[in-house]
Every structure is written in C-alpha cells, then in structure tokens.
C-alpha cells in the first residue's frame, strides 16, 4: 500500500484549468449558430471534458485492464441501447411505404364461404 | 511520509483478505463496477432525451430557451471546482496530510451546497412561471411538446441532485473519519472511493449542461 | 456417536441476532434460501389459484380483476422474488467463496446489506399485495400501468429495490472472482459454476440499472407526469417496452446462466468424468451474456416496432442458440462413457437437459417473425418460458439444492423420496405445460379470463397436472425438512466431487477452510483422481 503510485498534483491543476477553459468554450460555441453541427460540437467538447475527468481525476489512465473493460463495456451497452431504439424509431412505417407498390393494400378481403376454398390467391 | 504531528489510527486488514493491497484493489474494482451500473442507470434518461429531441427539435429549442444558461454555466464551474478540491483531498490523504484532507473535503461540501442552492433558485423561478412536470404544467408555450422537455429535465436534474445529496452525506462520513485520523498513506480507500463517486456526479453534469441549457 | 461437537458455521454462534447480523456468506446464503422458499410458495399459491379458475370457460370463483391480480402477482413474485435471486443469491452466496477457496466474498457487509435490501423490496411487494394487488401483468406495460387503480407504484418500487439487491450482489461477485481466488486458482481452473456466476454478474451490473430507472420513470409518470410514455403529450408507449426489455431480456439470462453453471457441476460429479470442452462452456457463458443485450426487440415484434428493427432482432435472436447449443452438446458428450450415477441431483440434471431443449427450441420458433405473428401472446409463449424458466432454472436450482444440501446442513435427505419427488415434478411439469403448447397452437390467448368452450378439455387437463407438480414439491419440502432433524449425518464429500467446497468440512467451518487450499489442477480432473 505504501508503494502505491500517487498522481502528481500538477496533473490535477492542469486538468482543472483545462476543464474550466473547455466550459468557457462550450458557452462560447453556443453563441454562434453552426446549424446542424451545434449538437456535434457541444457533445464533442463534453466528451473531451468527460475523458479528462475519467482519465486524470478518476485515475483511469493508471488503472489496470479490467477497469477499462468494465467502463468501455458500459459505454458500449449505452451505444447499443441508443442504436436499437433509434433503429426502431427512424424506420417505423417505412416498410409500408416501400412495399406499397408490390401489394394492393386497399383490395377488399375475400370472404370465405363455408365448405368452399377461396379461388386464386 | 510526513505526518503533521497528528496521530493516526493503524488500519486493520479485514480477516478474509490476505493483505492490504488485496483489500484496496478489491474495493476499487467493486467501486468501478458500481460506476458502470451508474452509467447505465442514467443512460435511459439520455436515450429518452435523444429520442424526443430528434422527434420535436423546435419544442426542445423553445423549452431550452426558458432555462437560464448562466446559472447552468455557473453550476458547471462549481461542480468542476468541487471535483478538483476532491482530488486534492484524496491526494492529501495519500500523503498523510490530515488537516489538508479535512479542509479540502470541507470546501468540496460547501461547493456542493452552493450547487444545490443555485439549483433551488432555478427550480423556484421555473415554478414561479408555471413550469412544472407535465401533469401540472401551466405555462404558455408555442409547441405542445414543451412539457416533455421539462418532464425529462426535472427527472434528470432531480436524480442528479439526489446523487449530490448522497455525495454530501458520504463526504461528511469520511470527514469524520479523517478527523479521527483513520486515513493516511497506508490506508485511504474510502476517500478514494467517495472521490470516484463524486467525479461521476460531475461527469453526468458535464453532459447535462450543453444538452439541457444550450440547445440550438 | 462421538460426543465432541466440531464447530461449524451453524453452531459457532447461536441466537437469532447472530444470524441477523452475520457477515458470513454461508449464513446469508441460508437466509436467502429461506426467503426464496417462502416466495416460491407464495408464487405457487397464485399459480394454483389461477389454474383453478381456468378449469371452466366462465367464472368459477375469481372475478376478472382478481384473476388479473393473480397472474400478475404470480409473475412478479416468481420473477423478482424467486427466480432472479434463487441460484446466484442463495446457492451462489454459499458456494462461490468455497469453490474459489476464499474465506468470504470480497465485501461481506455489502453482502448483508444486499440481503436486507432484498427483504425491504419483498416487504414492499407484500405491502402492495394487501393494498390493492397490482393487475397489470408483471411487465407493467404503459399506458395501462399509469392508469390502473391498483398498487402499481408500490409493486414497481419493490421491483426497483430488488433490482438494487441484485446489482450489489453482482458487484460483490465480480470483485470476489477477480481478487479472492485461492493460490493456484487461475481463470481456467475455476469451476464452471463460478464462470456462470461471473457472466451473470456482468449482466446484473449492466442491465439491472436500466429497469431501475424505467420503473422509476413509470412511478413519476403516474404521479406528476414525465410525458415520455404518454401519447397525449407526444410520448411513446412502445418506448416503455424498449426500456423494460433492455433489462428484462438480459434478466432471462441472469436467471438461466447460473442454472447452466449448476448443470456443469452436476454432470461432472455424477458421471465422474472431466467436463468436455471446458473453455467453450466458459466462453459460451460470456457469449450469452453479450448476445443477451442485442435481442430484447423480439418481445416487441407485434407492438408496433418497425419491421426493419424486427428483422434485425429476429436474426440476432437466433444467435443465442449457438452458445446454448454448445453447452448442451458438451454436457451430453461429457455423459458419454461416463460412470453415470442416477442420484437425485442428476435426475434434475436430466430433467433440465430435456426440458431446456424444448424451451430453447420453441424460443427459436418464437424468434421467427412469421411464426410469431401466430403464436404471440398465446399459451405457446406461456409454455415456452415456463419450459426455460421452470423446466430450466427451477430444475437446476433443485438439482443444485439437492447437490449442496448435505454441505449446507450436514445432513443427508432420503434418496428414495428424493427420486420419487423428482419423478412427480418432472411428470407434473410436462403435464401442465406441454398441454399449454397445444393450447397455444390452437389459438388460446394468454392472460384471458374467459375462453371458448372448445379449449376447456385442455385447460382442465393442464390444471390437473398442477396437482401432480404440487405433490412433488410437498413431498420435497417434507423430506428436506425431515432431514434437518432426523437425517443421517453427511460425510464431507458424499458425491465424490472434486471442486474445493468438498474439501471443506461438512458443514463448513466458520472460516471455510482450516488452511487456505492450493490449487494445482483443473476443477474436474477425475482421471488424475483415479476414476
């Protein structure tokens, strides 16, 4: 335990200044309209900030393999969650539009009389 | 290690561990596993946010403009600073500086309380304008999906504030133990674990700030 | 009879407080076992109540609402209070540190805390039972669950709390498996039950929090509104199903993976043969854990989910068959030319093998899109998941319980009655649920209170089977309890198992081992042991 590696304070100070600076950048960037890029830029800065907190403050940089596996595993799970929910949401009803040309969806249903198989298909 | 003249309590390794190293590593691993579950816990809220922002971009734009980004930015700075004082507290514990550990923890708590105070005024100004969760929402809004944004806003910031409250409780707990001299270069596991938890709370807010306050 | 009593974990301390405040993983395991047995009895009572009602096509003795409450409580109690904690929390707690050669789990206090969290969750569930029992089905689908006048909030809160118990157990097991292994116990010398618990713990940590937040959102939705599940505000009820099944499908593997781990233990011990394909079984547990996160959409095929998402989920669902198949083939191959000993635990192993295959294959039917259109929400689905959950998990749980019972309590149960009960359970189970496969293919929808007259013979036949099944469980309860008081004293290793728990005393010492064991071979090296 005594031989435990202690992260130098200078790392913390630099990270702290970096985080404050990036917060300022976030607010600054929000004052300009980049159109569709707004969200991307904001998220990109947030990811950089989060990585700084994780790597330095939480000490992930000095952690062993399994901690990385746990953390990346949870991030992958979140991405899977995002991906499939959006895969559903963005394609709902799409098949009805795309296959509308193949089938006559408005054709009347043929009533089956008892004892008589319907002709055709 | 330089001890500042104060007495420390020697740490006894729990009976089922072979040595202090194994005890420390296990505790840290367990805490990281707990962090993984915290990420997933908040993930559903972020997914919900993403979906409805995708579906109703104009409503989100309008709703977000009703929030005060200045308060949000101020709180971001407060939390980042508290994260910094937290790592300094951990560092002081690792180098057996009892007084310094205690003081850094105290500053962390004060910053956490400041965050909650700002949050309180923010909530109050929303309530004042009739901005409540959807069932009680009675503010004027152009888009009819604006209440959904505030539904998500109140749940996610509310749960985040709850995490901060729990964090304050945990920090008070390790402050008392610090005062008793339990933490020093040979044993600082609880300080480090509470630190991890506290940074996670900061981490969530880092994403919440641009997503909630700076839409558009 | 020697008059000298050897101290063990059961008699080292006495009095009720020594149990309630214990940090010993073995005692916590036993306490879980007690609560799980009670929950199983409660869930079984509701099952019996609703099967009785279904004897006739019209009302027999329950009102429609009471019937809805009965099947909801049957599901909720069985899933949240019984199956999820059954193998990991009860058997796992007892066996895991012993198999690793450790003195305890990594965080004994957290272990006790998760037990009390479980008790608190159970208390909420019981409270909701007497306070307008919930009638939404155990899945709590919106929009009905936000409108039902029954106690949805207290039941979802119960499930939320129970979820935390499960997460904390998972955290504990992961740290234990990583850090507490005995000297020489490398990853590939761990018993396969440990591997299974490891894969389970990963799912518990990564999936359970999502159901926690989902149920919390449901509570908020029905109190002050969030709007995300409410179509009137622009929300999406299908989103609830996504959120719910993101956890609840992996939860199925939280239930079945430990069961598969128990199977691997049983097959080697009762065939006296090294396991066939050790690494493949270990890796397939992890594969199941990973794939389990990719298939939840197959519960939403007919809920209005996009057809393209349906296709992706259907394809991914079939992938689960691969690692499951690997395990089944490896168990069968292990039996080949083994010295098979048909003791009670092995009878449950065989039951599992047979029933789980049926449950698994019918799962493939349901994963196929076009077939699912016909079978969705029919008794076919009910039969399918009972074949996996009860035919799979419960059989493995019973197998494991009989296998480790002598180790837990130091007493042997009656082998004769054990076999008789196993026969009753196996026959009764198939009687009840195979009938329901037929009912489902004939078009009987699940959760219906009244039904067409033509289904009555099959329904009545299925209900008759519940009595056979119930008789099996009553016999089991009688001889197990009898064994505690009058049973023969168990030797340290009654079955000839090679894993480390059989090295410990019976019942184990408070500190598990008198000296920390050192591991030099794989867990099932029967050839070296002289078989």
Q: Which chains sit next to B, with 3 or more Cβ pairs under 8 A? A: A, C
pLDDT at A105: 62
Q: Which residue, among C94, C89, C103, C192, has the nearest Cα to C408 in the 3D structure?
A: C94
Chain C residue with minimum CA distance to A70: C202
If phi > 0 it is left, if psi is from -120 to 50 it is alpha, else beta; for residue C305 that is beta
pLDDT at C4: 55
Q: Kind and range of the H or E element at C488?
A: strand C488-489
**Model confidence pLDDT, tens digit, residues C282-306:** 999 999 999 999 999 999 999 989 9
Q: Which chains sit next to C, with 3 or more Cβ pairs under 8 A? A: A, B
Mutate to test the interface with B, among A8, A29, A44, A74 (most CBs of B within 10 A): A74
Q: What is the CATH number of the domain that holds C230?
A: 1.20.210.10
**Does domain B20-213 bear CATH number 3.10.310.40?**
no
Evaluate whether residue C256 is within a structural domain: yes
Cα A3 to Cα B131: distance, rounded to the nearest angstrom: 55
Q: List CB contacts of B77: < 8 A, sequence separation 6 or more.
A: A20, A23
- Quick count: other Cβ atoms within 10 Å of Cβ A76? 13
* A57 vs B87, B186, B214: nearest CB: B87
**Model confidence pLDDT, tens digit, residues B142-154:** 888 899 999 999 9
pLDDT of C504 strictly over 60:
yes
Write down the residue that tokens 């749960």 correspond to: B159
* B135 vs C106, C170, C224: nearest CB: C224
By the CB < 8 Å criterion, does C85 face chain B? no
- Band of pLDDT at residue C398, cut at 50, 70 and 90: very high
- Domain range for C405 is 22-502
Mutate to test the interface with C, among A65, A75, A77 (most CBs of C within 10 A): A77
Residue C159 C-alpha, separation from nearest chain B C-alpha, in angstroms = 15
Cα C303 to Cα C317: distance, rounded to the nearest angstrom: 17
pLDDT at C117: 97
Give me the residue spans of the domains in chain A: 1-62, 64-105
pLDDT of A108 strictly over 70:
no
The least confident of C67-81, C374-388, C422-436, C509-523 is C509-523
- List the alpha helices (DSSP H) in C78-131: 84-85, 93-100, 108-130
pLDDT of B5 strictly over 90:
no
Q: Which residues on neighbouring strands pair with residue C512, listed in sequence order?
A: C509
Cα C256 to Cα C252: distance, rounded to the nearest angstrom: 6
Q: What is the ipTM of this complex?
A: 0.92
Give the HSE-up count for residue C46: Cα atoms under 13 Å, Cβ half-sphere.
22
Q: Kind and range of the H or E element at C489?
A: strand C488-489
By the CB < 8 Å criterion, does C206 face chain A? yes
**Model confidence pLDDT, tens digit, residues C180-195:** 999 999 999 999 999 9
Q: What is the dihedral of CA B100, B103, B105, B111, to 10 degrees?
A: -140
pLDDT at C122: 95
C-alpha C267: how far from chain center: 19
Cα B121 to Cα B75: distance, rounded to the nearest angstrom: 12
Residue contact B48–C209, C-beta within 8 A: no
pLDDT of A17 strictly over 60:
yes
- Band of pLDDT at residue C149, cut at 50, 70 and 90: confident
- Overall average pLDDT of the A36-40 stretch: 85
The structure tokens listed for C281 are: 């079984």
Q: Are C374 and C310 in contact (CB under 8 A)?
A: no
The SS3 assignment for B187 reads strand
Q: Which of residues 228-287 of C touch A (CB under 8 A)?
A: 236, 238-239, 242, 246
**% of chain C beyond a pLDDT of 70:** 99
Which residues of A have a CB under 8 Å from any CB of C?
Answer: 66, 70, 73-74, 77, 80-81, 84-85, 87-95
The structure tokens listed for B106 are: 């105290």
- Mean predicted lDDT score pLDDT of chain C: 93
Q: Which residues of B64-83 are buried (b: 16+ CB within 10 A; e: fewer)?
A: bebbebeebbebbbbbbbbb
CA dihedral (B196, C168, B155, C228) positive or negative = positive
Number of domains in chain C: 1
Residue contact C206–A93, C-beta within 8 A: no
Cα C73 to Cα C39: distance, rounded to the nearest angstrom: 11
Residue B44 C-alpha, separation from nearest chain C C-alpha, in angstroms = 6
By the CB < 8 Å criterion, does B214 face chain C? no
Distances from the Cα of A32 to the Cα of A27, A38, A47, B64, angstroms: 10, 8, 20, 16
Query: What value, to the nearest 5°, has the Cα angle with vertex C88 and ends B19 and C338?
Result: 100
Q: Which residues of C197-225 are buried (b: 16+ CB within 10 A; e: fewer)?
A: bbbbbbbbbbbbbbbbbbbbbbbbbbebb
Q: Are C158 and C121 in contact (CB under 8 A)?
A: yes
Q: Which residues on neighbouring strands pair with residue B184, listed in sequence order?
A: B187
Q: Which residues on neighbouring strands pair with residue C445, listed in sequence order?
A: C378
Q: Kind and range of the H or E element at C32?
A: helix C25-53
The structure tokens listed for B113 are: 């309380």
Query: Which pairing describes strands C411-412 and C488-489: parallel, antiparallel, or unpaired?
Result: antiparallel
Residue C286 C-alpha, separation from nearest chain A C-alpha, in angstroms = 13
- Overall average pLDDT of the C418-441 stretch: 96
Q: DSSP string spanning C380-422?
A: HHHHHHHHHIIIIIIHHHHHHHHHHHHHHHSEEPPHHHHHHHH
- Band of pLDDT at residue A7, cut at 50, 70 and 90: confident
pLDDT of B135 strictly over 90:
no
Residue contact C205–B25, C-beta within 8 A: no
Cα A26 to Cα A41: distance, rounded to the nearest angstrom: 8
pLDDT of B45 strictly over 50:
yes
If phi > 0 it is left, if psi is from -120 to 50 it is alpha, else beta; for residue C227 that is left
Residue contact C206–A81, C-beta within 8 A: no
Evaluate whether residue C14 is within a structural domain: no
pLDDT of C350 strictly over 60:
yes
pLDDT at C386: 96
Cα C233 to Cα B56: distance, rounded to the nearest angstrom: 11
Q: Which residues on neighbouring strands pair with residue C378, listed in sequence order?
A: C445
Mutate to test the interface with C, among A65, A71, A79, A88 (most CBs of C within 10 A): A88
By the CB < 8 Å criterion, does B67 face chain A? no
Residue B199 C-alpha, separation from nearest chain C C-alpha, in angstroms = 19
Residue B49 C-alpha, separation from nearest chain A C-alpha, in angstroms = 11
pLDDT at C3: 46
The structure tokens listed for C296 are: 């939840």
Evaluate whether residue C1 is within a structural domain: no
Cα B186 to Cα B10: distance, rounded to the nearest angstrom: 8
| Chain C residues within 8 A of B153 when measuring between CB atoms | none
Q: List CB contacts of C386: < 8 A, sequence separation 6 or more.
A: C359, C432, C433, C436
Write down the residue that tokens 């005060």 correspond to: B68
- Mean predicted lDDT score pLDDT of chain A: 83
Cα C419 to Cα C400: distance, rounded to the nearest angstrom: 14
Read off φ and ψ for residue C376, nearest 5 degrees: -55, 135
The structure tokens listed for C301 are: 């095929």
Residue A10 C-alpha, separation from nearest chain C C-alpha, in angstroms = 32
pLDDT at A39: 87
Residue contact A66–C307, C-beta within 8 A: no
The SS3 assignment for B56 reads coil
| Chain C residues within 8 A of B41 when measuring between CB atoms | 209-210, 212-213
- List the alpha helices (DSSP H) in C180-236: 192-223
Chain A residue with minimum CA distance to B47: A82
**Model confidence pLDDT, tens digit, residues C452-497:** 999 999 999 999 999 999 999 999 999 999 999 999 999 999 999 9
Residue contact B51–A89, C-beta within 8 A: yes
Q: List CB contacts of B5: < 8 A, sequence separation 6 or more.
A: none
């Amino acid at each position: 335990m005594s031989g435990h590696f202690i992260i130098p304070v200078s790392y913390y100070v630099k990270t702290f200044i970096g985080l404050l600076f990036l917060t300022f950048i976030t607010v600054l960037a929000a004052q300009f309209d980049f159109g569709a890029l707004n969200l991307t830029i904001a998220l990109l800065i947030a990811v950089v900030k989060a990585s700084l907190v994780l790597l330095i403050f939480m000490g992930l940089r000095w952690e062993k393999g399994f901690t990385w596996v746990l953390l990346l595993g949870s991030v992958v799970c979140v991405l899977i969650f995002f991906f499939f929910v959006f895969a559903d949401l963005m394609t709902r009803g799409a098949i009805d539009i795309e296959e509308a040309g193949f089938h006559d969806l408005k054709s009347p249903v043929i009533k089956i009389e008892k004892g008589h198989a319907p002709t055709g298909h | 290690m330089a001890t500042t003249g104060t007495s420390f309590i020697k740490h006894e390794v729990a009976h089922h561990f072979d040595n202090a190293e194994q005890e420390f590593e296990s505790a840290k691993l367990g805490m990281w596993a707990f962090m993984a579950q915290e990420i997933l816990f908040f993930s559903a809220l972020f997914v919900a946010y993403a979906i409805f922002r995708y579906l109703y971009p104009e409503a989100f734009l309008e709703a977000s403009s009703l929030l005060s980004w200045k308060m949000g930015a101020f709180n971001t700075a407060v939390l980042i600073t508290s994260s910094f004082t937290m790592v300094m507290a951990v560092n002081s514990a690792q180098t057996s500086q009892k007084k310094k550990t205690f003081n850094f923890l105290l500053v962390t708590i004060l910053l956490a309380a400041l965050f909650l105070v700002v949050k309180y005024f923010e909530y109050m100004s929303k309530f004042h304008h009739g901005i409540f969760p959807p069932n009680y929402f009675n503010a004027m809004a152009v888009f009819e999906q604006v209440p959904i944004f505030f539904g998500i806003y109140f749940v996610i910031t509310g749960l985040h504030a709850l995490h901060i409250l729990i964090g304050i409780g945990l920090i008070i707990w390790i402050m008392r133990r610090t005062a008793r001299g339990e933490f020093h270069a040979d044993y600082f596991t609880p300080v480090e674990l509470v630190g991890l938890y506290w940074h996670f709370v900061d981490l969530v807010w880092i994403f919440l700030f641009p997503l909630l306050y700076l839409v558009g | 009879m020697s008059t000298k009593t050897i101290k063990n974990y059961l008699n080292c301390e006495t009095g009720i407080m020594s149990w309630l405040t214990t940090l010993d993983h073995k005692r916590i395991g036993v306490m879980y076992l007690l609560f799980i047995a009670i929950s199983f009895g409660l869930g079984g009572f509701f099952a019996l109540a609703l099967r009785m009602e279904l004897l006739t096509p019209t009302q027999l003795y329950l009102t429609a609402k009471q019937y809805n409450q009965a099947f909801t409580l049957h599901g909720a109690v069985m899933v949240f209070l019984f199956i999820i904690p059954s193998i990991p929390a009860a058997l796992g707690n007892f066996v895991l540190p012993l198999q690793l050669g450790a003195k305890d789990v990594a965080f004994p206090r957290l272990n006790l805390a998760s037990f009390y969290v479980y008790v608190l969750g159970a208390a909420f569930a019981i409270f909701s039972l007497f306070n307008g029992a919930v009638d939404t089905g155990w899945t709590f689908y919106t929009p009905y669950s936000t409108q039902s006048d029954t106690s949805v909030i207290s039941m979802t809160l119960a499930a939320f709390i129970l979820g935390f118990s499960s997460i904390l157990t998972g955290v504990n097991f992961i740290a234990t498996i990583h850090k507490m292994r005995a000297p020489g116990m490398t990853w590939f010398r761990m018993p396969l039950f440990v591997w299974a618990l490891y894969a389970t713990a990963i799912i518990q940590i990564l999936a359970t929090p999502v159901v926690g937040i989902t149920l919390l959102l449901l509570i908020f939705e029905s109190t002050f509104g969030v709007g995300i599940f409410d179509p009137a505000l622009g929300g999406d009820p299908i989103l609830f199903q996504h959120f719910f099944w993101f956890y609840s499908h992996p939860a199925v593997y939280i239930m079945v993976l430990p069961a598969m781990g128990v199977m691997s233990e049983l097959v080697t011990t009762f065939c006296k043969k090294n396991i066939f394909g050790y690494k493949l079984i270990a890796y397939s547990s992890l594969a199941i854990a990973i794939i389990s996160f990719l298939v939840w959409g197959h519960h939403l095929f007919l809920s209005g989910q996009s057809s393209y998402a349906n296709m992706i989920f259907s394809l991914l669902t079939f992938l689960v068959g691969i690692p499951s198949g690997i395990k089944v083939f490896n168990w069968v191959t292990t039996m080949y030319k083994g010295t098979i000993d048909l003791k009670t635990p092995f009878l449950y192993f065989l039951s599992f093998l047979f029933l789980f295959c049926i449950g698994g294959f019918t799962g493939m039917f349901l994963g196929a899109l076009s077939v699912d259109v016909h079978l969705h929400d029919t008794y076919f689905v009910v039969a399918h998941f009972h074949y996996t959950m009860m035919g799979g998990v419960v059989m493995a749980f019973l197998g494991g319980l009989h296998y480790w019972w002598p180790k837990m309590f130091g007493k042997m149960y009656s082998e004769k009655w054990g076999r008789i009960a196993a026969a009753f359970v196996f026959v009764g189970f198939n009687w009840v649920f195979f009938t329901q496969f037929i009912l489902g293919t004939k078009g009987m929808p699940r959760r219906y209170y009244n039904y067409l007259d033509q289904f009555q013979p099959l329904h009545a036949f299925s209900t008759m089977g519940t009595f056979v099944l119930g008789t099996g469980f009553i016999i089991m309860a009688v001889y197990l309890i009898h064994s505690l008081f009058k049973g023969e004293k168990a030797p340290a290793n009654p079955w000839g198992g090679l894993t480390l728990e059989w090295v410990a005393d019976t019942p184990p010492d408070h500190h598990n081992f008198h000296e920390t064991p050192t591991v030099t071979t794989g867990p099932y090296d029967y050839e070296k042991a002289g078989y």
